Amino acid sequence: MEYSMTGGPTGWEQQELTKERFNELIRTKTALAAALEIEEKFDLMFENYTAFELCLLERSLLSLLHVSHEWAKKVEDRRAVNLCLSNLLSSCRMYLDHVPQKIRAIQGTRSQTRTEFGASRASYYESSLAYRTLETLRNYAQHCDQPISLAAIGWKRESLNEVGRVVCTPYISLSTIEPGRAFKKETYEELLAKYEDAIDLKPLVREYMSALGSIHMQLRVGLQTDLELLDAALEQVISDCGKSESGEMSKCAYVRGITASGDPKMEQFFRENPEQRQVLEKKNDLIRHFENYYVSGEVEGGQELKPIHELVKRSRPDG
């Protein structure tokens, strides 16, 4: 049989397929793989965002534990934050560039969801300075220089009785950037009018990631019906394989046939594909609105403190 389907490599009855059915199953497999890849790229992007935020917390904690005013420490802080931010910006670009291709693999060339994905990106670009800034900063980091010029460690205490705070702040300095050279001139002028020079990137990054989270949630809505049909088609082809000679129900399907170029082809169909996708969908289901929250280690309900000069006195051997 040129085109066939079976529940395993041995011990299963082969079922004959038509050429049309074979091609339909291959398209189903390709679409299911594309749907999983969309969620994997979204997950990679937000794992890199997690690494960026954790890096800021780590540099803050290390500065508290190991106080240093040496230049090498400042360079180390900047290098660590630049590494995480560069990875984040690259994964964001990869997600935005690759998703339209994956949508086409699922819905075809005339996909309304693909059009809406592009329109959603354009809408956020037009309405959000943070979105425009991070897009052009990624381009600048790829072609010119590292994204940030300084990772400053700030020690803050409003009064002697207040808990002190240690904060790592990544800055870009407009005075070190040449507009028009990979950094879009219009965006540069917008930033200059609002911030003058040094810009804290934290709120901009969080707003950008919130926008990408919202774009992705809209994408899921557009693909929902197609993915339900694909999942059902996968379940059907596995069920159609029936039982093995030993009476075991099929858990996968092996499909064999001849491609348009005349080459033999064998594809395996497993339930794990949609299951993995659904795990990632659930994991990243509420990734929006980052600009409205931040993580801290402060004590719940406040804390009564001794004046700082008394704490210093107690820490001395003669105190």
H or E segment and range at residue 15: strand 15-16
- pTM of structure: 0.87
Nearest C-alpha neighbor of 254 from the set 239, 265, 269? 269
Q: What does the pLDDT profile of the chain (319 residues) look like in tens digits?
A: 689 998 887 777 888 999 999 999 999 999 999 999 999 999 999 999 999 999 999 999 998 888 877 888 889 999 999 999 999 999 999 999 999 999 999 999 999 999 999 999 999 999 999 999 999 999 999 989 899 988 888 877 766 666 778 889 999 999 989 888 789 999 999 999 999 889 999 999 999 999 999 999 999 999 999 999 999 999 999 988 877 777 788 888 999 998 888 889 888 999 899 999 999 999 988 776 667 777 777 766 655 544 444 544 444 445 4
Domain ranges of the chain: 35-250+283-315
**17 DSSP 8-state letter:** -
Distance CA 241, CA 8 (A): 9
Q: What is the predicted pLDDT for the residue at 312? A: 46
User: Taking the CB of residue 115, how many other CB atoms lie within 10 A of it?
Assistant: 13
Please state whether beta strands 198-200 and 165-173 pair in parallel, antiparallel, or not at all (unpaired).
Answer: antiparallel
